[in-house]
Chain A
Amino acid sequence: MASGVKPAVLIVEDEPQMRNLLRLTLESNGMRCLEAMTAREAISKIRNQLPDLVIADLGLPDSDGLNVIRAVRANSAVPIIVLSARSQESDKIDALDAGADDYVTKPFSAGELLARLRVGLRHGSHRTAGATDEAFAVGDLNVDLLRRQITVRANAVHLTPIEYRLMVCLIGKAGQVVTHNELLKAGWGTAKLDQQHYLRIFMAALRRKIERDPTQPEYLLTETGIGYRLWSE
């Protein structure tokens, strides 16, 4: 998305009032809206109108939203944010595994939704918040990805190789949720996929090195039952 051009967001939602609310929220925040009411319509609009981002409800009249995500992912990398009334963690993981980039649970606040959208749009344009290929910065945290140097509150932090790999994986999706499986793969390959406690122990160690107070983390946020999210913006 070039600067000055309004990003186009496709709203996939069958409930008219919810669609209306989303359109109002998005348009008043400088975005252009496309709308789809069914899975079919969504897939065709994504192909033909090339939106910059998709907000998708999971419960659609003609098909499960998961099918939309899978169909789109077969040939498009457009960021997809799932809007779900379902609060069960397994539904969110299914959507993320199918290729969604993040989720917002209904009911949501406008602030929460817009923050996720901004992150999604930046990732879509390959401009991660505060990140280039060489460096990542948020708050008091600075990561030099070329020299593999990390400083927090102006102090150098030494990470083990696995800790560093986890950190890089989180930076790659800064602001978005990263599932346990993605992080386990990044840290250990496929060796420890069924051993989430390894990940938790390493995340706890990372927090002790980076956070001011590991019980009230600012940077490494927990999404219990799903994964972790690195604070951005």
Chain B
Amino acid sequence: MPTPAYSLASWRAYGGAILIVALTTALNAALSRWLSLTDLAMIYLLSVVIIAAYCPLATSGVGAMLSFAAFDFVFVPPVYTWRFDKDEHFMTALVLLAVGVFTSVLAARMRKTMAAATAAAVLASDEKLRNSLLASLSHDLRTPLSIIAGSASTLRENRARLTADEQDQLLAVIFEQSRTMSRDVSDLLEMTRLHAGPVRLNRQWYPLEELIGAALARCKLQLAGHRLSIDIPSDTPMVEVDGVLLEKLLVNLLENAAKYTPPGSQVHISVTHSSRAIDVSIEDDGPGLPVGLELQLFEKFARAQTEGPVPGSGLGLSICRAIAQLHDMTLTAGNRPERGARFQLSIPYRAPPKADAETE
């Protein structure tokens, strides 16, 4: 729950309150020739209300007392004494004090209610996220799990009645689904790790070619049915990144491209660079992203089709975004004017270290 930083700023609050009372006193002194004592008290009251609106209870209480004291000392005859000549002047001052304190209490109570309302809203959205997380998790882990359990029990109980081909199919399903599940679990662990606290980046200088190559090697199976083209200019500068995390980011983008485009689709990886940034684009000629969902895609568990036939926890892209943010990179998603989706990672340029030619 966000508690306002009053404790830190309390001396500033008191300073501000004193300043406001002093300014009010100066203003009243200038106006006192034309205004009655009650009018002056009203102006003090206004300043107390202002203090109460912005400061905690104790500060506005002090502001009310100070106003009461200044009013009495400077304006109530006999001036420059603490005494009151007339009871009605004393009453005016007392009302000023009472209203000031009452306003302060009211303002504090209102603030508390508002804070509670905000906290409740935050909790509700946490709760919503947690629920969608649980719903998504139970769906995404249970589905492969029930397929695995089902296939295994069918094999176990009906083996005699199944052809060798059918048995092979069931075994392949068990293997595939357990891989999917394993990936979902590691995605989940990765996400938890990235959000658990400060992540220590192991930044090293890498040729992008190596990281892209390593990512491609890890998605070889998924991309086997796709046409792949790669364009990395040989003068591409090295990038200083956490290689393991950047590879993970690229793998997730490539897996996504493989998953959401039909077999035979083109996947194009290209790198361009300027004096400010090195841009890696992954484009495909598939159906593209749903218009208007380009930003939402990076949210936890967001998926283009919520209960569609394509497996996956929808964590992949939010992991990508988390990794990009850790590196101060920007990751954007959009549709190509022709057809298909386009993801672009922009890595800020930093001058690579010199690596001198071979010295023996």
Which of B175, B178, B204, B217 is in CB contact (< 8 Å) with A216? B217
Interchain CB contact under 8 A, B358 and A162 = yes
Interchain CB contact under 8 A, A87 and B213 = no
Is B212 an interface residue when CB atoms closer than 8 A count as contact? yes
Interchain CB contact under 8 A, A196 and B204 = yes
CA gap between A215 and B353 in the complex, in Å = 22
Interchain CB contact under 8 A, A215 and B232 = yes
Interchain CB contact under 8 A, B186 and A87 = yes
CA gap between A213 and B355 in the complex, in Å = 24
Q: Which of B201-219 contact A (CB under 8 A)?
A: 202, 204-207, 209-214, 216-217
Interchain CB contact under 8 A, A200 and B207 = yes
Name the A residues within 8 Å of B206 (CB-CB): 197, 200
Q: Which of B181-202 contact A (CB under 8 A)?
A: 182, 186, 189, 202
Is A225 an interface residue when CB atoms closer than 8 A count as contact? yes
Name the B residues within 8 Å of A196 (CB-CB): 204-205
Chain B interface, number of residues (Cβ within 8 angstroms): 30
Closest to B242 in A: A225
Name the A residues within 8 Å of B360 (CB-CB): 161-162
Q: Which of A187-217 contact B (CB under 8 A)?
A: 195-198, 200-201, 203-204, 207, 213-217
Given contacts A216-B216, A216-B217, contact A204 B210 (CB under 8 A): yes
Interchain CB contact under 8 A, A224 and B214 = yes
B215 vs chain A, min Cβ distance (A): 9
Is A125 an interface residue when CB atoms closer than 8 A count as contact? no
Interchain CB contact under 8 A, A215 and B212 = yes
CA gap between A213 and B234 in the complex, in Å = 12
Name the B residues within 8 Å of A213 (CB-CB): 230
Residue of A87, A107, A221 most packed against chain B (CB within 10 A): A107
Interchain CB contact under 8 A, A204 and B207 = yes
Chain B residues within 8 Å of A, Cβ to Cβ: 175, 178-179, 182, 186, 189, 202, 204-207, 209-214, 216-217, 230, 232, 238, 243-244, 247, 352-353, 355, 358, 360
Which 9 A-B residue pairings sit nearest by Cβ, starting from the closest? A197-B205, A225-B244, A222-B214, A215-B213, A224-B247, A204-B207, A224-B214, A224-B243, A215-B230
